[in-house]
Amino acid sequence: MPRFAANLSMLFNEVAFLERFEAAAGAGFKGVECQFPYDFEASEIKARLQHWGLTQVLHNLPVGNWAAGERGIACHPDRVEEFKIGVDQAIAYATELGCSQVNCLAGIAPKGVGADRVRATFVENLKFAADKLKDAGIRLLIEAINTRDIPGFYLCGTEQALDVIRETGSDNIRVQYDVYHMQIMEGDVAHGLEKNITMIQHIQVADNPGRGEPGTGEIDFLYLFKLLDQIGYAGWIGCEYKPVTTTMEGLGWAEQYLKA
């Protein structure tokens, strides 16, 4: 039976962020994830996790100025020191929250920088982060994102992600596979999941088109969830979608899983 985590950056946004933990638990979720916890004290988040019996499944490394359109700095040669500071910050939060994995967004490839240098920067930053995270008992994930929603995003395919992991030589990096992004970039997501499941540590879901909840688009999620059981996926599935109306009104797809 799949284990689902509510992405609190996108779900239950009818209420303030710190109130979303109660909302997630009330809906039946056992785990939560978020993009960035850093606007709040880790102790505040920890208290809510403990009170509502929730597991913090995932959060991202700092990504620069999200409000200004930045979507990660890991491939930027001029932001290496900032990236390293962000790794320390992510470790501090993950340790406090009992979170066993963090995700690294590569970022939009910087203009005017050669492709070889961009890749080398990304690889070296991942090596650095993977080593420090391993010492703290935390897994590093990398996520490919579609270039329709984020033009120029550096990491945009599963094979590219696997190639980068191999180049780092690290045993502490795995793939975060986002079904929505990979349906746009690659299609055939059932095959992609089955082929690469040994390197996939975390999965996120949203339907396409529209990035709404499962059942609002073209993806057969009932089939995918059964497939994940069949192939032995034991990780969390993060619900990182945009509810078509409200989160609660759109949770009918998950009732058989959350109330089981």
Q: How confident is the model at residue 260 (pLDDT cuts 50, 70, 90)?
A: low
Which class in CATH covers the domain with range 3-245?
A: alpha beta
Cα dihedral across residues 145, 150, 155, 158: positive or negative:
positive
Q: Per the residue annotation, which of 70, 124, 240, 249 is the catalytic one? A: 240
Cα dihedral across residues 36, 42, 46, 47: positive or negative:
negative
Per-residue pLDDT tens over the stretch 70-104: 999 999 999 999 999 999 999 999 999 999 999 99
Q: Please confirm, yes or no, whether 240 is among the known catalytic residues.
A: yes
Per-residue CA distances from 156 to 100, 180, 181, 184 (Å):
24, 12, 8, 10
pLDDT at position 210 is 97
Q: Per the residue annotation, which of 82, 143, 186, 218 is the catalytic one? A: 143
180: nearest Cα among 243, 241, 249: 241
For the chain, the structural domain boundaries read 3-245
Say whether pTM exceeds 0.85.
yes
